[in-house]
Structure 1
Amino acid sequence: MRLPLRDTAAVAAGVLAPFAAALVLAPLRTSVTHTNLALLLVVVVVAVSASGNRFAGALAALSAAAWFDFFDTEPYQSFHIQDRADIETALLLLAVGLIVSQLAAHGRTMKRVAVTDATHLERLHATTRLARSGTSSSDDVVRQVRQELIEVLELRACRFEYGTLVGRPPRLEPDGTVQVDGWVWDLERQGWPEGETELRALVHGRYQGRFLLTPEPGSVPPSLEARLVAADLAAQAAEALDDDGVGARPMS
């Protein structure tokens, strides 16, 4: 499975940014204390961690410690350190870099989770408002849910079948798991199954139809939270169809 472009760039920055910074700082090694040079490299580690992920941050900390040793400690252009104080500084650089990289990545993760939660909540509220507006048909609700599913699951396409159960495609369950031939599919490790995956629209145990999901080839699977939101959206569509009594007719 391919890494997202952002994560790939972050990993590359984790390797290259400390190297570039240490190279730029090398002319200052005789006029600036080694401790201050190490602190400047910590800033680079934090910058990578804040815009990347935990792995990129840890990689940046390791890279910073290595290039600090290579460029800023005697003997220069060597990964050998003679002075005990420089050894301690290099080890502290590594330890502090690892700690701050994880803290920065954690903060970025928490921010992303908060924004994602708010977005998911708004999707559910918007669909509820549409269903209860009194001016929209069940078809309107189904169309909106289709669009929301494409966005929340990052799909290439999504279509809806009214009241039919033809074939046995992979199925996204209400608990967020994916079933293939009665077995739980390891979505995180294996990615989406081949072909379309169905998400049934059920309300009070009554089947109203199903959404057929087509993921982008090679895409990263959505989080469990996103899949649970998708199941809730499908349930809202099912409730609208049940209220109208039109679950078994083809979509116009």
Structure 2
Amino acid sequence: MAARMSEWPRATWWRTAVRVAAVLAPLLTCALLSTVRDQVSAPTSVLILVVWVVAAAATGDRLAGILAAVSAGAWYDFFLTEPYLRFTISDAEDIEAALLLVLISIVVTEIALWGYRQQKQAYLRSGYLEGVLGAARAVAEGDMPAPAVAEVVARQITDVLDADSCRYVEGPVHDGRIAVLDHDGVLTRNGHPVDVDRVGLPSEEYVAVEVRRGTQVAGHFLVTATSHRTYPTREQRRIAVLLADQVAATA
């Protein structure tokens, strides 16, 4: 499903590589600028270094952005302010420039991360909508048998809720230990609401997403999330119910 974003940016090796680059790029840049420090003004050097901070923050790793900001400030001091090749600044203007570099870099990091999160949310919403429309199309066309539609929807619910697995079961939920997701995205177990935003989906029991035909429960999807704690938003939970509703026409 398109909503599940690639996991490769989260890989340990990738995060490590980004953070190492976030430290080394300002170091190498300042070392290079030190060879032409007489021809490059302090504001130009600061702007060049901020570019590396933006690049680090654009990966979505806050620590990488902060490391780049600190590295830029430190190596700017070391290579581009007097006395050179020492972590000491003697000129008040240089101190101001170094502090502004770090502060601006941190602000830019937060702005870049905000933009990254907004882009990710937009991508996820687009994927969720695509999944709902795909399920609705399969039902409307009538080319897929009911078990195949249920299987497609189960995969999409797994993606939307960031769960481990999901399967369709005919009939209502009979086990009171199983938490049930309603159309408002509220999860209840034994008549009590579960604060999914705070504690996540239950990992010790199933979560049921009912398939209703009018007032009757035709079946339900059993969702498993035991390998990791998952915190689907209310919007995601409501989309999972909407996906399940597509099976009502074929159940």
Bin of the TM-score, shorter chain as denominator length? 0.7 to 0.9
What residue is the counterpart of 2:111 in the other structure?
Answer: 103
The two structures, once aligned, show a CA RMSD in angstroms of: 3.0
Structure 2 counterpart of 1:17, from 21, 25, 28: 21
Q: How many residues of Structure 1 are paired with residues of Structure 2 in the alignment?
A: 238
Question: Would the alpha carbon gap of residues 144 and 22 (structure 1) be closer, same or farther in structure 2, given more than 3 Å must change?
Answer: closer
Letter in 2 for 1:176: G
Please state how far the C-alpha of 1:15 moved relative to its aligned partner. 5.0
What residue is the counterpart of 2:34 in the other structure?
Answer: 29
State, as a whole percentage, how many aligned pairs show the same letter: 34
What residue is the counterpart of 1:227 in the other structure?
Answer: 237
What residue is the counterpart of 1:148 in the other structure?
Answer: 156
Please state how far the C-alpha of 1:58 moved relative to its aligned partner. 4.5
The answer as to 2:95 corresponding to 1:91 is no
Question: Would the alpha carbon gap of residues 233 and 117 (structure 1) be closer, same or farther in structure 2, given more than 3 Å must change?
Answer: same
The answer as to 2:66 corresponding to 1:61 is no
In structure 2, how many angstroms separate the alpha carbons of the residues matched to 1:155 and 1:53? 24
Q: How does 1:153-192 map to 2 (within 5 A)?
A: 153-167=161-175, 168-192=177-201
**What is the CA deviation profile of residues 105-129 of structure 1, one whole-angstrom value per residue up to 9, with x for unaligned ones?**
3333333233222221111111111
Q: How does 1:40-79 map to 2 (within 5 A)?
A: 40-54=48-62, 56-75=64-83, 79=87
Question: Would the alpha carbon gap of residues 14 and 200 (structure 1) be closer, same or farther in structure 2, given more than 3 Å must change?
Answer: same
What residue is the counterpart of 1:205 in the other structure?
Answer: 215
Mean CA deviation greater in 228-237 or 115-124: 115-124
What residue is the counterpart of 2:3 in the other structure?
Answer: none
Mean CA deviation greater in 85-94 or 103-112: 103-112
5+ residue gaps, structure 1: 242-252
Q: Report if aligned partners of 2:203, 2:225 keep a CA contact under 8 Å in 1.
A: no
SS at match of 1:39: helix
Question: Would the alpha carbon gap of residues 220 and 90 (structure 1) be closer, same or farther in structure 2, given more than 3 Å must change?
Answer: farther
5+ residue gaps, structure 2: 1-6
Question: Would the alpha carbon gap of residues 151 and 15 (structure 1) be closer, same or farther in structure 2, given more than 3 Å must change?
Answer: closer
TM superposition score normalised by structure 2: 0.78
What residue is the counterpart of 1:246 in the other structure?
Answer: none
SS at match of 1:237: coil
